[in-house]
Amino acid sequence: MPYRAPVQDYRFLMDHVVGFPAVAATDRFSEATTDMADAILTEAGKLCDDVLAPLNRNGDLHPAVLENGIVRTSPGFSDGYAAIAEGGWIGISADPEFGGMALPMTLTTAVNEMMASACLSLQLNPLMTQGQIEALEHHASDAIKELYLPKLISGEWCGTMNLTEPQAGSDVGALRSKAEPNGDGTFKISGQKIYISWADNDFTENVCHLVLARLPDAVDGVKGISLFMVPKRIPDENGAPGVANSLRVVSLEHKMGLHGSPTAVMEYDNAVGWLIGEEHAGLAAMFTMMNNARLGVGVQGVGVAEGAYQHAVTYAMDRKQGKASGAGTIIEHADVRRMLASMKTDIFAARGIALSCAVAIDMEQATGDVEWRDRAAFLTPIAKAFGTEVGMDVSHQGIQVHGGMGFIEETGAAQYSRDVRVTAIYEGTNGIQAMDLVARKMMDGGEAAMRLLDEIEQAAETAKATFPVLAEQVWSAAETLRETTEWLVSQTDMNDRFSGAVSYLMGFARVMGAHIHLTAAMQGDATRVKMAEFYIRRLLPEHVSYLAQARDGADAIMEFTNEELVA
């Protein structure tokens, strides 16, 4: 079925819900006018509709392969990537000194979601590059910036990040890759990395790997890790890709989804690398890239959800079965309508949370205000985890809407579910995101959370004059969330926080989603009002269960013995 980018939803959320006009009112982003934003969203939508969406099925049916050490990408991916690069979409938020547009992250986030809807396998490539661009802008030397950033922003070169190793998994501090000084400012990088997205391709001149490794004098753990730029081809004196570096793609993983995106095992054997940032401070530099990617992965989940929803609703409009009123297709059945309404309203909530996070990032960059910084930090794990959970749930329901045909690969419904599943694992699993939320993001005593809750309750108070019942439900839910937050920050045993962390994150997302829907309904549009009514009456009540679990503590979990869990 043809995909259509939800440009109107982005415009509505930006103009009326998430506060984008405040971003455009700053000196830094004064060029992001309504007309500019409309033009960006419209043109990106056309790219996704006409160029990228037709490639999605190709990536699934004709995966990337490794042939004689060379990665061959899926049919049409080369042309699709060229369209992304030539349109300037990789460097939307990048520094104009090196060819970027310096536009707000909010616009980049919207564009990235559209591209993920259209073809997630291909969109992963520019997303990795965008993260690398941001890491280099913040941490690289001027020489590295001048050489690499123009090429990355133009799309002539692309970027990856190399963290994970077979023995380490999510415990990055356990990595063993080594970096030895060459005596000329470069380093010899050796080691193996796994799960490297887009580690190679056949359509860019160079692939630039950011690699975490240890110097000879490094201490154990995360404080002994440094970050290095290790290109596939070593730039010559003119900055052009020169001789091949001593690295290779060992193999490509056989995955349940995202077949068009090559995920590699990489081997570095005394490859030439350049230090990025300070020695032994590599993880901090890499986290710049990872935080960028976490929001990006969150909107990948939302994007796939949108694609799955469009696929399901089209099928429901056409499929005739049973005795239903109206057109006689299954969209008239109450349970199908329930699924579609759940899908539609959850997507809107998750999209609003992601854009709210992006607005906070933009406002912090534009103003330097620490409260905006703290809000962006607080919302990032929620945007990532909730966005990907919505992606999995909506794609799962999309299969169900198709009934038995959803289980048949030819319909394409299952691809969305297979493709999106890994997003809950990317850039730190959703459990890790939740633990970060209740631990590091609560080191302020819950102040960032409370400021958000103050705004939600104030908006609900205002809405009571128009929607008294709905507004009271949102206000009451925010109060329950406030009490749960107070309970969390009072716990000194971190297992009491961690055991309910995922539930707390989901409960927070449910309440914030209700706030987004209520704010949208206040604009008076009849469809937005119906969406708010459905979400607040049907989905918001889940917060009660989530927050009860969050406050239950660790005893019910930790009292199981290993043997009891195994038996």
- Distance (Å, whole) CA 122 – CA 198: 9
Is 389 assigned a catalytic role?
no
| 196 token code pair | 């490297």
| 450 token code pair | 């409370």
Strands 157-162 and 206-213, bridge-based pairing: parallel
For 517-527, give one letter per residue: b (16+ CB within 10 A) or e: bbbbbbeeeee
Q: Which residue has the tokens 């060379």?
A: 70
> What is the CB neighbour count within 10 angstroms for residue 407?
12
- The burial of 310, by beta-carbon neighbours within 10 Å (0-12 exposed, 13-18 middle, 19 or more buried), is given as buried
Q: Are 294 and 428 in contact (CB under 8 A)?
A: yes
Q: Are 163 and 286 in contact (CB under 8 A)?
A: yes
Coil vs helix vs strand at 464 = coil
| 73 token code pair | 């990408």
Task: Given the residues 134, 165, 389, 427, select the one marked as catalytic.
Answer: 427
- Distance (Å, whole) CA 306 – CA 176: 40
> What is the CB neighbour count within 10 angstroms for residue 234?
17
Q: Are 132 and 19 in contact (CB under 8 A)?
A: no
| 561 token code pair | 């013995």
| 438 token code pair | 């209740």
| 503 token code pair | 């539930």
Amino acid type, 453: L
DSSP 94: S
- Distance (Å, whole) CA 172 – CA 151: 29
Q: Are 194 and 165 in contact (CB under 8 A)?
A: yes
Catalytic machinery residues: 427
